[in-house]
Amino acid sequence: MSSSGRIEIVVSSPQQQLSFVTVELVTSRDSARVAVTTTDSTGKAFFTSIPAGFYLLRLTRVNFTGRIIELNHNPQGESAATIRVTLLPLEKAMQEVVVSGKKNYVRQLADKTVINVDAAINNTGTTALEVLERSPGVTVDKDGNISLKGRPNVMVMIDNKPSYVSGGELATLLGGMSSNQIESIELIDNPSAKYDAAGNAGIINIITKKNRQRGFNGNASLSYGQGRYYKNNNSLGLNYREGAFNFFLNYSMNLNRNYLDMYALRKYYKDDGRLESQMEQPTYMRFKGQNHTIRTGVDYFAGKKTTIGLALVGTNLNRTSEGEGDALWMDASGLPDSSISTESANKTHWQNAGLNLNLRHAFNATSELTVDLDLLGYRIAGSQAFSNQVDSNNSEIETFVGDLPSNINILSAKADYSTSIGNDLKLETGIKTSGISTDNEASYFIMKDDKWEPDPGKTNHFLYRENIHAVYGSLHKKLDKWTFQSGLRYEYTRYEAEQRGYNGRKDSTFSRNYSSLFPSALIGLQADSSHQFNLSIGRRIDRPPFQKLNPFVFIINKYTYQRGNPFILPQYTWNIELSHIFKEVLTTSISYNITNDYFSQIFYSDTSGMVIYTEGNLGKMKNLGITVSGQFSPANWWTASAEVTLNHKNMEGFVWTKQKATITQMNMNINNQFRFKRGWAAELSGYYITKSQTDIQEIVEPTGQVSLGLSKQVLKNKGSIKLSFRDIFYTQAMAGNTQFLDATEYFKLTRDSRVVSITFAYRFGKPLKTPGKRNSGGAGDEIERVGTGG
């Protein structure tokens, strides 16, 4: 029987170790792929349990020359064979060298899907939210809620840290974040015990750009887009590393205008099912926003084993909107009865500041400790103003304003320890604690007799405090062709809420504490060089977002309000998935998920025609999903990625009566990359979503878009010009139907999604040239952990 052993590859450039190098191990006889991996931040990669034989190592990294190395692997026991490789930057390579490596738009790994944002030309000039809605398997609904593979309630993280906001607040945060800041997006269906248990659909982790080169380096990007209104995204990244210190700064500015063209037709029915009346509501809103974000910090390499980092982040966002709309009441035959004209003005001033302190210490080659302390604060000042005029003769005018300030403070601390026992067993364990406090006010005033008077029916003050404590442990075992991973996470949650009275009403308080265990497991089989199988299972939780617990009234228009629900309970989900990967070219997976007390929007209507949007726990949701994704290269200048997800959902719950809903929906996404000579490239991409349903009362009609992009490398490949045309056919509208008690509503929302953008990006600076034997200090070969702050 052939012996097997471990292969260690160490990759560097003349200046530093190289991370993110793709390392492929193939047989020398027929180039059949045996395994593939990427180097870590120390430039290291490992292959384990490799049979003796003759192989080829293929090494590729963007902006570096590729290498192919012959390998006669003859392992002796469990000792590792170490191979050291040097890759040359493009500017140091001969012009005749053809670089075989390029950054694929999508990479399918055993435990996650990685989207390389810059690899898609059509991402130029966009926001983080727009990148997500074009990403395979991701959908964004009309309210900004994000779903992954047809399942809502996904947890969004930025640089491995929870964003701590959801729904509209999360949409605002991501809508103000430029895609120029993003390196990659990780889609994690079944996270391990190391991650927070929140997010029944998994985790979306947004990784921001970090420059790791020594010396002074930077990049700048200018982008202008034009739809009906302008869009402007600019960014600047600076990095200076020498000796034991690394300083970094990233700044982005987002200026844009947008619009929302909304149409709604509400129909009211009698008890016997006959149509009683109708209300038509066309509304047009114009938005104007500006966002400034800065991320800066320093890393200190205290020695070959210790790195200390400080990172700061700040966001200043201003958004205003103005709108006009009419509510036309009609009888059953469609004859007008009366109308109300509404003018509105909303303002949001969002300030966010965060601090991260981090420590990484390697006790030895196999044991490591990381510690993170995060302090995060949001200051959100919002205001509303509405004026309603009945008919056109000024017979009655209703005017009111609202002031809605909100403060959110978050403190989080965690420590993670990992160690390897032998060559094939790894132990991970950690602890985390976090505290959140929010202070929300809503002060509404109505105009009476030319004087502003408080409106007690809408005015309120809501305080909320939440603490979560967690501990976890997991084991990773490699045994020949098998990989085993098992983990268990324990989380304890306690929250207290206080709704302060107003105008004589009594205060009310409520609190709750609960705890649970969250097991997870993964079994992997590398059957041969072409086939890999993975089976994963895990339990997850979704806590009610504290914004949704807030019982405030938020006015959408005269006949539509939105209100929180302080009595929502957490929902729990079991996920199981079986996947097959064929040569990292074709990935097929089948999954089953069952959620108890699942969150759903709930829509109520009353006899006055008022509709109230709220959220609560319904019954049970079951989801059977099949996903097929592939990476293809029909020609050496053409690469394509495609993904199709099919979901069959069963939802049941009690609204005004027991209800059930069953639907089969599909999400398709395709991206074509064309690489030509002399630095030219093009892209054709698009997605399509069939009729879908995330709430038991609402069905959304099909939607999608097609986009085209063109790019050219300039200035000796240090610069690039990108031109993109998104939503060419203007099909990215959202329409659907909502079912109420004795009422229905058809809605359609159209935004400024058809946009032409042009972007110029430029890289400047040079790596620090260090003589071969120069001592660059204790950090000379140190692990790089640049800009890890959230």
Cβ count near 161 (within 10 Å): 21
Query: Which of 49, 69, 92 is a domain's end point?
Result: 92
Whether 778 maps to a domain, the answer reads no
Query: What percent of the chain has pLDDT above 70?
Result: 90
HSE-CB for 245 with a 13 A CA cutoff = 7
Question: The CATH number of the domain where 153 resides is what?
Answer: 2.40.170.20
**Of the ranges 388-397, 480-489, 563-572, the best mean pLDDT one:** 480-489
Tens digits of per-residue pLDDT, 629-678?
998 889 989 999 999 999 999 999 888 788 889 999 999 999 999 999 99
Pair 419, 463 in one domain: yes
390: pLDDT confidence band, cut at 50, 70 and 90? confident
Which pLDDT does position 499 carry in this prediction?
82
Helix or strand run (H / E) with residue 570: none
Whether 772 maps to a domain, the answer reads no
Tokens of 637: 């200048």
Pair 282, 175 in one domain: yes
Whether 786 maps to a domain, the answer reads no
HSE-CB for 409 with a 13 A CA cutoff = 5
Tens digits of per-residue pLDDT, 108-135?
777 788 898 988 888 888 888 889 988 9
HSE-CB for 781 with a 13 A CA cutoff = 11
5: pLDDT confidence band, cut at 50, 70 and 90? low
501: pLDDT confidence band, cut at 50, 70 and 90? low
Pair 161, 243 in one domain: yes
d(CA 766, CA 241): 11
Whether 489 maps to a domain, the answer reads yes
Which pLDDT does position 776 carry in this prediction?
29
Whether 116 maps to a domain, the answer reads yes
d(CA 706, CA 684): 8
Pair 180, 70 in one domain: no
Which pLDDT does position 767 carry in this prediction?
54
Return the residue matching tokens 């053409």. Answer: 638
Pair 279, 339 in one domain: yes
Which pLDDT does position 102 carry in this prediction?
53
d(CA 778, CA 756): 49
Query: Which of 92, 126, 149 is a domain's end point?
Result: 92
Pair 87, 213 in one domain: no
Please check the confidence at residue 309 and state whether its pLDDT lies above 70: yes
Averaged pLDDT of the chain? 85
Task: State the residue range of the domain holding 22.
Answer: 4-92
Query: Which of 52, 68, 92 is a domain's end point?
Result: 92
Please answer whether residues 538 and 572 qualify as being in contact, where contact means their C-beta atoms are separated by less than 8 angstroms.
no
Pair 81, 142 in one domain: no
Tens digits of per-residue pLDDT, 225-241?
999 999 999 999 999 98
Residue 179 is classified by DSSP as: G
Please answer whether residues 743 and 605 qualify as being in contact, where contact means their C-beta atoms are separated by less than 8 angstroms.
yes
Please check the confidence at residue 525 and state whether its pLDDT lies above 80: yes
Pair 70, 193 in one domain: no
**Span 395-405, average pLDDT:** 84
Please check the confidence at residue 496 and state whether its pLDDT lies above 60: yes
Please check the confidence at residue 46 and state whether its pLDDT lies above 60: yes
Pair 37, 180 in one domain: no
- The better pLDDT of the pair 371, 54 is held by 371
Please check the confidence at residue 583 and state whether its pLDDT lies above 50: yes
Domain total for the chain?
A: 2
Residue 31 is classified by DSSP as: -
* Single-letter residue type at 424: D
* Weakest mean pLDDT among 69-73, 294-298, 589-593: 69-73
Torsions phi, psi of 609, nearest 5? 95, 0
Between vectors from CA 421 to CA 418 and to CA 424, what angle results, nearest 5°? 105
Please check the confidence at residue 319 and state whether its pLDDT lies above 80: yes
Tens digits of per-residue pLDDT, 668-724?
999 999 999 999 999 999 999 999 988 888 999 999 999 999 999 999 889 999 999
* Weakest mean pLDDT among 27-36, 480-489, 501-510: 501-510
Pair 67, 208 in one domain: no
**Span 136-149, average pLDDT:** 85
Which pLDDT does position 775 carry in this prediction?
31
Cα-to-chain-centroid distance, residue 731: 23
pTM strictly above 0.95: no
d(CA 68, CA 31): 12
Residue 151 is classified by DSSP as: B
Pair 55, 154 in one domain: no
Question: The CATH number of the domain where 16 resides is what?
Answer: 2.60.40.10
Whether 774 maps to a domain, the answer reads no
Please check the confidence at residue 312 and state whether its pLDDT lies above 80: yes
Query: What percent of the chain has pLDDT above 90?
Result: 46
Please check the confidence at residue 92 and state whether its pLDDT lies above 60: no
Whether 787 maps to a domain, the answer reads no
Long-range contact list for 399-402, CB < 8 A, 24+ apart?
399/446, 399/447, 400/444, 400/445, 400/446, 400/447, 400/455, 401/444, 401/445, 401/452, 402/442, 402/443, 402/444, 402/445, 402/458, 402/555
Pair 167, 80 in one domain: no
Whether 777 maps to a domain, the answer reads no
Return the residue matching tokens 């700061």. Answer: 312
**Span 619-636, average pLDDT:** 92
